[in-house]
Structure formats: C-alpha cells, structure tokens
Amino acid sequence: TGAPQVEARTLAMLRGLLLQLHSACAHLASGARAFPSSVQETVGHVWHSVEGVQASLACARSFHDLSGLVLAQSRDRVARAQLGIDGLLEHVGQHTPLPWLVGPFAPALVEWPEDVPVEMAKWDGCVTVG
C-alpha cells in the first residue's frame, strides 16, 4: 500500500470521525435546551467549529489539496471545539446532581438501601462513633 492510499484512508477516517462528532453535537444541542443560554451558545460554537472542519475537508482528495492556511484554520477550529467541550464537561460536573450523571448506579452510590443486609464480618474491629 502506497502513500496515496494511506493518505486517502486517513482522510476517509477523519471524515468519518467528523461525521460522528457532528452527530454527537446534534444530540448535545437537543439536550442542551434545558441548560442556561451560555451552555447552549457553547454547544453552538462547538457544532459550528466541527462543520467548519468538515467543509474544509469536503473536497480534498489528499492533504496536498489543502493549503497551509486551511490546515491552520482547521487546527484552530478543532482546538476551539475541544475547549468548548472541556467547558461543557466542567459545567455539567459542577452543576448537575450526582444521580443525573451516574444513572442507574445512583442508588448504590448516594444512598444505602434499607432492605440490603449488611455483611458485618467486614466491619469487625471497626470503631463506630455515634
């Protein structure tokens, strides 16, 4: 397999990843309606950045078809999208109740079910205060 084939496959993989990221942004945008407008704006910026990179790569058959300026702009768009996603994750981590984040595992993490017997052997030797 020569360099042109490897490059073509790399571009195809990159386009596939961008398509998946674009789809994830669409789902994120629909779910972000419940969040403050600043979060919705960030989602929009991430989505716009992904679309920009997709548009830049749409007609390229190889990386040689892309100018240095287009590559630099794409790199900048990806960096902005990454910063936006990092900000979204930080917001969700700080402002979302734990049970919403952990889903079906929430009962085991945030409360002790009354009907589950406690195995006392593992507590032998422990001092309790109360």
Give residue-wise pLDDT tens across range 33-89: 888 899 899 999 999 999 999 999 888 888 888 999 999 999 999 999 999 999 988
Q: What is the pLDDT of residues 107-127, one digit of tens each?
A: 555 454 555 555 555 445 554
Q: Is 53 exposed, middle or buried (0-12, 13-18, 19+ CB in 10 A)?
A: buried
Residue 35 CB neighbours (<10 A): 16
Question: What pLDDT is stored for residue 33 in this prediction?
Answer: 83
User: DSSP label at 42?
Assistant: H
Tell me the fold of 3-97: Four Helix Bundle (Hemerythrin (Met), subunit A) (1.20.120)
- Quote the CA–CA distance of 101 and 107 in Å, as a whole number: 12
pTM value is 0.66
